[in-house]
């Protein structure tokens, strides 16, 4: 039976699914499948939550738009799990706050602080640490290093507010060892762990491109995303590299 938002049937998605927030990135991923976009099968376009299935180096793989934020991603992942997805990799962008991170760098998330409302709703106030699957995380790190990259590896914070005005926003989370802000990983890691807790073989990972950096200027002001955001052509090139890493890692696990 088709789901409410993903108008697909069991078997339409491969066990391995990449999760970009942007539908244009879903098209970009599908264009990197064997045979390109024309060979990929469109399995969902409802609400522009574009989903495609194909193969990468002969391995079945799907890509499914998640939308922005944990409310949208949670709907998509809940329905993907019902449709048989087993390996879920978020691919997206983040605001880097870790020391030494620069735009264009890669971050592989090991865990995500649940600063978002959806994960808190799932948890009913219980303390919990949403963490990525170790094997998927190691595969992402290995694939990045095989390309000569040195990814940032560590926790991120999943937040609801993109333009956060709090003066201590960056310093507080950097002092806790957080590498970057993003908006989806905590719910993804929780839902995969919940499925594991029910006895299912479901794993989740997350790889991100640093699209902007957040920090303090010499005057003590917080730099905004607009001031450091990558040029779109540079961001697209970095995104393609990130997608290649995710495809290679996902195919290996």
Whether residue 66 is contained in a domain is answered as yes
Whether residue 171 is contained in a domain is answered as yes
Whether residue 145 is contained in a domain is answered as yes
Catalytic positions, written as ranges: 212
Return the bridge partners of 107, or none: 152, 208
Whether residue 91 is contained in a domain is answered as yes
Whether the CB-CB separation of 112 and 191 falls below 8 Å is answered with: no
SS3 65: coil
Residue-number span of the structural domain to which 188 is assigned: 16-252
Whether residue 170 is contained in a domain is answered as yes
Whether residue 2 is contained in a domain is answered as no
CATH number at residue 244: 3.40.50.1580
Whether residue 193 is contained in a domain is answered as yes
* pLDDT at residue number 224: 59
Whether the CB-CB separation of 108 and 206 falls below 8 Å is answered with: yes
Q: Give pTM, 2 decimals.
A: 0.95
Q: Running along the chain, 253 residues long, what does each successive block of 10 average in pLDDT?
A: 91 98 98 98 97 98 98 98 98 97 97 98 96 98 98 98 92 97 98 98 98 70 69 95 98 90
The count of structural domains within the chain is 1
Whether residue 10 is contained in a domain is answered as no
* pLDDT at residue number 89: 98
């Amino acid at each position: 039976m088709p789901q409410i938002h993903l108008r697909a049937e069991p078997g339409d998605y491969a066990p391995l699914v990449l999760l970009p927030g942007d539908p244009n990135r879903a098209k970009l991923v599908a264009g990197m499948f064997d045979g390109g976009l024309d060979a990929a099968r469109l399995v969902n376009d409802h609400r522009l939550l574009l989903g495609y299935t194909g193969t990468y180096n002969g391995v079945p793989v799907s890509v499914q738009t998640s939308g922005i934020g944990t409310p949208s991603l949670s709907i998509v992942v809940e329905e993907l799990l019902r449709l048989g997805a087993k390996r879920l990799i978020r691919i997206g962008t983040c605001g880097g706050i870790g020391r030494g991170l620069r735009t264009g760098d890669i971050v592989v998330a090991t865990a995500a602080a649940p600063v978002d409302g959806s994960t808190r709703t799932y948890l009913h106030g219980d303390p919990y640490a949403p963490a990525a699957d170790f094997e998927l995380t190691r595969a992402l790190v290995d694939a990045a290093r095989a390309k000569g990259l040195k990814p940032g590896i560590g926790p991120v914070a999943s937040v609801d507010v993109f333009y956060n005005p709090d003066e201590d926003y960056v310093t507080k989370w950097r002092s806790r060892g957080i590498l970057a802000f993003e908006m989806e990983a905590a719910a993804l890691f929780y839902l995969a762990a919940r499925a594991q807790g029910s006895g299912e073989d479901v794993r989740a990972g997350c790889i991100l491109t640093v699209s902007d950096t957040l920090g303090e200027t010499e005057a003590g002001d917080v730099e905004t995303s607009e001031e450091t955001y990558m040029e779109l052509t540079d961001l697209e090139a970095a995104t393609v590299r990130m997608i290649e890493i995710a495809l290679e890692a996902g195919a290996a696990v």
